[in-house]
């Protein structure tokens, strides 16, 4: 494998890895606030791409993306207030079943609103043939957009959770919901906010990657499991580690294609998931001490 | 004996349905009823795993596919022209090969499905055992994703391998001679006998599971579902029982896959998809989780309607709606084990019911 080719694979891996990271960040935000894994997370990415595509037909790209993010956030908020809020006392099993049900409903709704066609948002700068040369490898400028937006989101989240009062309140909810309530935090709206936030971030991810990876109504299931692998790999609840893990998985998948048939790409990442779950469920960046306190 | 009354009732209903379809001239409905029966076998097996052991499995379609693809692969190998090989003689001497004439007059020699049934059960059991030991240590979301991951692996393998026919699957699977003169196949003339074979399998499965629930294993499982820590502390080997039930569920799914493949004469990758696994979970959830009869009845109703195409384009959406609304409003399912008690409760005057409800609320408020 030549140096240029290796670099090409690396960039391809980073692109795919970023979208996994978007999904994993979404998982983490909701998990932190509620302890729920939202199986419908992949559908938010799909909705973002689809809505932005529709709006971009008659308006510039920026407002279309903003509208897509806002609408998907609203969908996330509605899902929380209509379904999740009523189910506080449900078992984990019940919660899994409900979020799976919601993901099916979102997917089917998308199928009837749009159709089975694969769509792609137009490129943020340039077109599908324009490319930037970095160290001899030629990549699409969209890859730079993806990397830039991923960085901004991670930095933004870090600052939000560290320094704003709302962010701190959300972290308090994840520590102990009841204690947070007793301290006067409106836990209901914090949980709702977490759904809005993760839906919005998922939608934004869906918009940025759409020009390269396309948007399809049934793309959510694959993304959901890949995002979960990444979230577990980084340690559930850790958004920054999720990005590192996302890039790692993206690179592994990208290089696996050069050795194994394309069809087995998913098999490799799922085997990684099974190994991680069995060997170290706290993730590669999780501490062993903290994991001994938790129940997997 | 009392616990078998419901099984006898089921047998009677099966016969009545068959006679009714014959009288009304709607024998074509038997095809969907037969297929529903096979899906029910998967559902009741999953019911043990989810309802009684409290472990979610989103990979049941994977085991179904293991059963189906094992037999499809083994019984479509043509041995004609290989009469000289050692393998042929080894299989032919104990009578394990079947000679068949195709539509065009060619002869095909293939392995008897009895061997592939054995292989299907063994492969499914060993896979479930090897997979179950590590992953059943996980709980909740982690277990759900791990089993779903297993399902996707199977799906990707059958979709990506040439020997499994890739996207086309395997077709031309021969019929399965269960008894002399009676075989599992999609032949129109044997529709009635196939209907009875399928439901006989359901009855056998139910008898097995009912006995299991009322045995030492069943009691262990119930304690496990109540509280894993507590039953562990009482000396129940929880991890062993979880694996046992997981293997049972897998074998049920594989056997169903085996029969379905011979009935349809083939299998395709969609049978291994996540959507199918979710469907089985939906049926068990609607049936009331720890309720074999609920899973059976809902499995029959939902599969039959779905196979008849009643839901049309909304097939998947219907299952999504069912999942969400059942869990939100009726988490215990429609069908209760104690139907007679339910009816009595309904017949009681409203005021008395209200009083009881109030009392219940007071207790829960404390």
Domain boundary assignment for chain A: 3-293
- In chain B, what residues touch A87 (CB-CB under 8 Å)? 327-328
Residue of A nearest to B138 (CA): A296
Residue B247 has a pLDDT of: 95
Distance from CA of B86 to the nearest CA of A (A): 34
Q: Do A277 and B138 touch (CB under 8 A)?
A: yes
Q: Do B156 and A101 touch (CB under 8 A)?
A: no
Q: How far is it, in rounded angstroms, from Cα B343 to Cα A285?
A: 56
Residue A43 has a pLDDT of: 93
pLDDT > 60? residue A115 = yes
CA A138 to chain CA mean position, Å: 26
Domain ranges across chain B: 31-331, 336-366
In the numeric block, which tokens belong to residue B127? 């896979």
SS3 A247: helix
A115 CB within 8 Å of a chain B CB: no
In the numeric block, which tokens belong to residue A65? 């993306």
Residue B365 has a pLDDT of: 47
Report which of A57, A50, A71 is spatially closest to residue A113, judged by C-alpha positions.
Answer: A50
Q: Do A264 and B160 touch (CB under 8 A)?
A: yes
Residue A57 has a pLDDT of: 87
B314 CB within 8 Å of a chain A CB: yes
Distance from CA of B181 to the nearest CA of A (A): 43
Which residues 230-269 in chain A show a CB within 8 A of chain B? 232, 261, 263-264, 266-267
Longest dimension (CA), chain B: 83
Q: Do B153 and A278 touch (CB under 8 A)?
A: no
- In chain B, what residues touch A271 (CB-CB under 8 Å)? 153
Supply the pTM of this predicted model: 0.86
Element (H, E) at A138: strand A137-139
Nearest to B140 among A92, A104, A228 (CB): A92
Q: Say which residues have a Cβ less than 8 Å from residue B147's Cβ, sequence separation at least 6.
A: B56, B57, B58, B59, B135
Q: Do A296 and B142 touch (CB under 8 A)?
A: yes
- In chain B, what residues touch A93 (CB-CB under 8 Å)? 50, 54, 56, 140, 289
Residue B362 has a pLDDT of: 53
Q: How many helices (H) and strands (E) does chain A have?
A: 12, 2
Lowest mean pLDDT among A228-237, A275-284, B100-109: B100-109
- In chain B, what residues touch A113 (CB-CB under 8 Å)? none
A274 CB within 8 Å of a chain B CB: yes
Residue B366 has a pLDDT of: 41
Give Cα separations from B143 to A37, B2, B4 (angstroms). Answer: 12, 36, 34
pLDDT > 60? residue A230 = yes
A295 CB within 8 Å of a chain B CB: yes
Q: Please report where in the chains the tokens 């690179």 appear, as a residue.
A: A251
Q: What is residue A185's DSSP assignment?
A: -
Query: Which backbone phi and psi does B111 adopt, to 5 degrees?
Result: -70, 145
Q: Do A92 and B156 touch (CB under 8 A)?
A: no
B153 CB within 8 Å of a chain A CB: yes
SS3 A126: coil
Residue of A nearest to B274 (CA): A221
Answer for the pair A213, A20: CB distance below 8 angstroms, yes or no: no
Per-residue HEC secondary structure of chain B comes to: CHHHHHHHHHHHHHHHHHHHHHHCCCCCHHHHHHHHHHHHHHHHHHHHHHHHCCCCCCCHHHHHHHHHHHHHHHHCCCCCCCCCCHHHHHHHCCCCEEEEECCCCCEEEEECHHHHHHHHHHHHHHHHHHHHHHHCCCCHHHHHHHHHHHHHHHHHHHHHCHHHCHHHCEECCCCEEEECCEEECCCHHHHHHHHHHHHHHHHHHHHHHHHHHCCHHHHHHHHHHHCHHHHHHCCCCHHHHHHHHHHHHHHHHHHHHHHHHHHHCEECHHHHCHHHHHHHHHHHHHCCCCCHHHHHHHHHHHHHHHHCCCCHHHHHHHHHHHHHHHHHHCCCCCCCCCHHHHHHHHHCCHHHHHHHHHHHHHHHHC
Residue B67 has a pLDDT of: 94
Confidence category of residue A296, pLDDT binned at 50, 70, 90: low
Torsion, CA B225, CA B228, CA B231, CA B233, rounded to 10: -170
Element (H, E) at A139: strand A137-139
B133 CB within 8 Å of a chain A CB: no
Report which of A43, A47, A21 is spatially closest to residue A99, judged by C-alpha positions.
Answer: A43
Confidence category of residue A1, pLDDT binned at 50, 70, 90: low
Q: How far is it, in rounded angstroms, from Cα B56 to Cα B147?
A: 8
Nearest to A98 among B137, B139, B323 (CB): B323
Residue A71 has a pLDDT of: 95
Residue A211 has a pLDDT of: 86
Residue B139 has a pLDDT of: 80
Distance from CA of A226 to the nearest CA of B (A): 10
Report which of B117, B113, B123, B118 is spatially closest to residue B66, judged by C-alpha positions.
Answer: B123
Taken in order B324, B328, B334, B336, the sign of the CA dihedral is positive
Nearest to B320 among A37, A94, A105 (CB): A105
Residue of B nearest to A226 (CA): B149
Nearest to A97 among B145, B148, B281 (CB): B281
Nearest to A101 among B135, B153, B323 (CB): B323
Distance from CA of A200 to the nearest CA of B (A): 23
What is the full per-residue pLDDT of chain B (366 aa) written as tens digits? 667 788 888 888 888 888 888 888 888 888 889 999 999 999 999 999 988 888 889 999 999 999 999 999 988 887 776 666 767 777 777 767 777 766 666 777 788 888 889 999 999 999 999 999 888 888 878 888 889 889 999 999 998 888 888 888 888 888 888 877 787 877 777 888 889 999 999 999 999 999 998 888 888 888 887 777 888 888 888 888 889 999 999 999 999 999 999 999 889 998 888 889 988 998 888 887 778 888 888 889 888 888 888 787 788 888 888 888 877 777 666 665 555 555 566 566 555 555 555 555 555 444
- In chain A, what residues touch B141 (CB-CB under 8 Å)? 37, 92, 96
- In terms of Cβ atoms closer than 10 Å to its own Cβ (0-12, 13-18, 19+), residue A56 is buried
- In chain B, what residues touch A92 (CB-CB under 8 Å)? 139-141
Higher pLDDT, A284 or B32: B32
Distance from CA of B324 to the nearest CA of A (A): 5
Nearest to B141 among A90, A96, A266 (CB): A96
Q: Do B153 and A86 touch (CB under 8 A)?
A: no
Q: Do B320 and A102 touch (CB under 8 A)?
A: yes
B163 CB within 8 Å of a chain A CB: no
pLDDT > 80? residue A283 = no
Fold of the domain spanning A3-293: ABC transporter involved in vitamin B12 uptake, BtuC (1.10.3470)
């Amino acid at each position: 494998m030549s140096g240029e080719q290796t670099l090409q694979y690396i960039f391809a891996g980073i692109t795919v890895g970023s979208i996994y990271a978007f999904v994993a960040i979404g998982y983490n935000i909701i998990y932190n606030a509620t302890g729920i894994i939202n199986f419908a997370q992949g559908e938010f990415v799909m909705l973002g791409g689809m809505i932005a595509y529709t709006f971009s037909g008659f308006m510039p790209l920026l407002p279309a993306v903003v509208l897509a993010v806002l609408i998907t956030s609203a969908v996330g908020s509605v899902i929380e207030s209509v379904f999740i809020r009523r189910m506080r006392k449900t078992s984990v099993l019940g919660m899994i079943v409900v979020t799976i049900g919601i993901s099916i409903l979102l997917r089917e709704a998308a199928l009837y609103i749009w159709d089975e066609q694969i769509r792609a948002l137009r490129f943020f700068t340039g077109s599908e043939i324009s490319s930037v040369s970095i160290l001899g490898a030629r990549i699409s400028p969209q890859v730079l957009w993806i990397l830039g937006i991923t960085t901004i989101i991670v930095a933004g989240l870090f600052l939000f959770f560290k320094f704003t009062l709302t962010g701190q309140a959300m972290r308090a909810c994840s520590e102990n919901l009841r204690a947070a309530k007793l301290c006067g935090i409106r836990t209901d709206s914090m949980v709702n906010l977490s759904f809005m936030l993760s839906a919005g971030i998922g939608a934004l991810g869906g918009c940025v990657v759409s020009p390269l990876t396309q948007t399809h109504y049934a793309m959510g299931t694959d993304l959901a499991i890949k995002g979960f692998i990444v979230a577990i790999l980084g340690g559930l609840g850790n958004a920054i580690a999720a990005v590192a893990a996302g890039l790692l998985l993206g690179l592994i998948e990208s290089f696996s294609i050069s050795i194994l048939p394309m069809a087995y790409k998913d098999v490799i990442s799922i085997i990684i998931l099974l190994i991680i779950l069995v060997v170290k469920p706290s993730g590669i960046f999780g501490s062993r001490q903290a994991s001994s306190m938790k129940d997997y | 004996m009392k616990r078998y009354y419901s099984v006898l009732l089921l047998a009677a209903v099966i016969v009545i349905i068959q006679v009714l379809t014959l009288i009304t001239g709607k024998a074509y409905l038997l095809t969907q009823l037969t297929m529903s029966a096979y899906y029910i076998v998967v559902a009741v097996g999953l019911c043990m795993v989810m309802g009684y052991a409290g472990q979610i499995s989103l990979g049941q379609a994977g085991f179904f596919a293991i059963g189906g693809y094992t037999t499809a692969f083994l019984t479509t190998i043509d041995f004609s022209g290989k009469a000289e090989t050692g393998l042929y003689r080894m299989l032919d001497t104990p009578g394990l090969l079947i000679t068949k004439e195709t539509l065009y007059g060619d002869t095909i020699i293939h392995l008897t499905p009895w061997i592939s049934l054995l292989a299907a059960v063994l492969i499914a059991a060993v896979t479930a055992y090897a997979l179950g030991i590590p992953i059943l240590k996980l709980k909740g979301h982690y277990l759900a994703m791990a089993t779903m991951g297993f399902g996707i692996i199977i799906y990707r393998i059958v979709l990506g391998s040439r020997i499994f026919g890739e996207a086309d699957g395997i077709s031309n699977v021969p019929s399965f001679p269960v008894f002399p003169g009676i075989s599992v196949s999609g032949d129109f003339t044997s529709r009635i006998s196939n209907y009875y074979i399928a439901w006989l399998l359901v009855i056998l499965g139910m008898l097995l599971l009912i006995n299991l629930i009322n045995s030492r294993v069943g009691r262990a499982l119930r304690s496990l579902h109540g509280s894993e820590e507590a039953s562990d502390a009482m000396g129940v080997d929880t991890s062993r029982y979880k694996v046992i039930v997981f293997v049972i569920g897998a074998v049920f799914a594989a056997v169903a896959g085996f029969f379905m493949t011979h009935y349809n004469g083939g299998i395709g990758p969609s049978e291994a998809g996540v959507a199918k696994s979710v469907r089985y979970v939906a049926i068990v959830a609607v049936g009331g989780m720890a309720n074999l009869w609920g899973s059976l009845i809902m499995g029959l109703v939902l599969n039959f309607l779905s196979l008849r195409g009643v839901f049309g384009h909304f097939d998947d959406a219907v299952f999504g709606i069912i999942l969400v609304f059942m869990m939100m409003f009726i988490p215990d399912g429609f069908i209760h084990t104690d139907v007679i008690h339910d009816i009595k409760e309904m017949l009681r005057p409203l005021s008395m019911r209200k009083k009881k409800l109030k009392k219940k609320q007071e207790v829960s408020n404390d």
